Amino acid sequence: MKKNILIIGSNFSRTYHLKIIKKIYKETKIYICSPNINKKKINKEIIKCEDYQLLIKKKKFFLILCCATSEVQTCFIKFLLLEKIKPRNIILEKPVSNNLLELEKFFTYCEKNQINLSINYTYANLKIISKIKEIFIKNKSQSFLEFNLKFKHPFYLKKNNSWKNFISMGGGIINYYVNHILYSCILIFGKIKIKSLKIIHNKNQELKEFILNLYGNKISIRINININSNEYEHKYNFFTNKKKFTFLTRKKNWYDKYEVYINDSFKKEYTENILQLIKKNYSYLNKKISKKKEYLNKILMNEKLCINLNKRLIKYDFKKM
C-alpha cells in the first residue's frame, strides 16, 4: 500500500522539496495543497487540493511538509493539536511560528506522540558552519566571530506588498535572512544572548543597516547587516588566538562560489548544492530520541531570539504599500 505524503505550499516546496521527496520516498501518493494550486502546472501524478484541513481529516499521512509563512504554520500547528492529528513525520519552514506558547505545546506534543519533526534550516548545513564549529571546539581560548551581509533588499529595488518584506506579516530582515545566521551560531556555539543592537535608518524610518552583538561561552559575535548596498557579500571572519579564518561569497546566491582564506591567504573556492543542503534536513527526522529534545531546544532558542529582535525592529519595518 502506498504511503501518503502531503505538501502544503506550492512555490519553494514545488521547486525543491518535491524533487527530494520523489528521490527519498518510493511507492508514495503525493498531495499538494495551496489556495491557488489549480493555477499551477504540476505533474498529473501529483494530487492537487485547496484545503489541507479537510484532506488531513480524511486521510492519514506518513509525512506532512508545510512550507509556508509563520502565520500559516501557526494555524497548521493549532489544527494538529486541536484535532489530535499524529503523522509519523513533519517538516516545517523557518521561522516556525510567532506564537511561542503554541510552539512549545507543539514540540511537547511531537515528543509525547513520537512524531519526527524537522525544521528546514538549509543554510545551517553549509560546510562553513561545520568548519567553524570544528575550529571552535579545537580552540580552547576566547574566540570572536564577525559576520557581514551586504545586499540590496528587494523592497529597495521594487517596492511591493510581498509578506517577505514586512515583520508585521511574518517576513522582514530577521525572519527571512538573519534567522539562518542566528540558528547557525547556536549550532556552533550553543546558547547565545543579545548584548546590544545598533540601528541605522533613513529619514522615512526605514531600516538600512544594523549591528547586532551577541555573546556566549567563550565567544563574542558581531553581525553586521547592510540591506541597501550595491554590493553583494556574505562573509564570516572567525578569529582564534592564533589564526583568522575567512569564508565569503560575493554572489547574490549564498550557496555559490565560496572563497576560503586562512590569515588572509587564499586557500580554495567551492560551490554548494542547494538540493543536497535541503535534503540533509530530512535526516533530522531519523534522529535518536536522546538528540531530538536537544534539537528542538535549539530551534526554540532561535525562535525566541528572532521574536525578541523583531519586537525591537518593528518600528523600522517597511510601510505596507
Q: What is the pLDDT of residues 82-116, one digit of tens each?
A: 999 999 999 999 999 989 999 999 999 999 999 99
- Cα→Cα distances 116→64, 110, 291, Å: 11, 7, 11
**Cα distances (Å, whole numbers) of residue 273 to 63, 73, 125, 127:** 24, 27, 10, 11
- Residue range 73-88, pLDDT digits in tens: 999 999 999 999 999 9
- Average pLDDT in the 297-320 region? 93
Mean pLDDT of 219-223: 98
- Residue 124: how many other CB atoms lie within 10 Å: 24
The distance between the two most distant Cα atoms of the chain, rounded to a whole number of Å, is: 62
Say yes or no to pLDDT of 47 above 70: yes
pLDDT at 57: 95
Task: Look at residue 321 in the predicted model and tell me its pLDDT.
Answer: 54
Would you state the pLDDT for residue 35?
Answer: 86
State how far the alpha carbon of 80 is from the alpha carbons of 72, 77, 113, in Å.
13, 5, 12
Q: What's the CA gap between 310 and 198, in Å, rounded?
A: 14
The CA distance from 128 to 22, in Å, is 28
d(CA 245, CA 261): 6
pLDDT tens column, 244-257: 999 999 999 899 99
Q: Work out the pLDDT band at 320, boundaries 50, 70, 90.
A: low
Sequence-distant contacts of 26-29: CB under 8 A, at least 24 apart: 27/2, 27/3, 28/2, 28/3, 28/4, 28/62, 29/2, 29/3, 29/4, 29/5
> CB count, 10 Å around CB of 264?
8
Looking at residue 254, what DSSP letter applies? T
**pLDDT per residue over 137-182, tens digit each?**
999 889 999 999 999 998 888 888 888 889 988 889 999 899 999 9
Q: How many CB atoms lie within 10 A of CB 158?
A: 7
Bridge partners (DSSP) listed for residue 249: 234
Q: Which three cell numbers stand for residue 111?
A: 515528543
Beta bridge partners of 143: 219
- pTM of the full structure: 0.93
Q: Which burial class, exposed, middle or buried, applies to 117 when counting CB atoms under 10 A from its CB (0-12, 13-18, 19+)?
A: buried
Residue 280, pLDDT above cutoff 70: yes
Average pLDDT along the chain: 93
Structural domains in the chain, CATH included, are 3-120 (3.40.50.720), 123-316 (3.30.360.10)
43: pLDDT strictly greater than 90: no
Q: Is the pLDDT of residue 41 over 80?
A: no
Round to whole Å and give the CA distance between 89 and 204: 45
Average pLDDT over residues 272-298: 92
Burial of 249 (0-12, 13-18, 19+ CB in 10 A): buried
pLDDT in tens, 184-217: 999 999 999 999 999 999 888 888 999 999 999 9
Asked if residue 25 lies in contact with residue 82, where contact means CB atoms within 8 angstroms, the answer is no
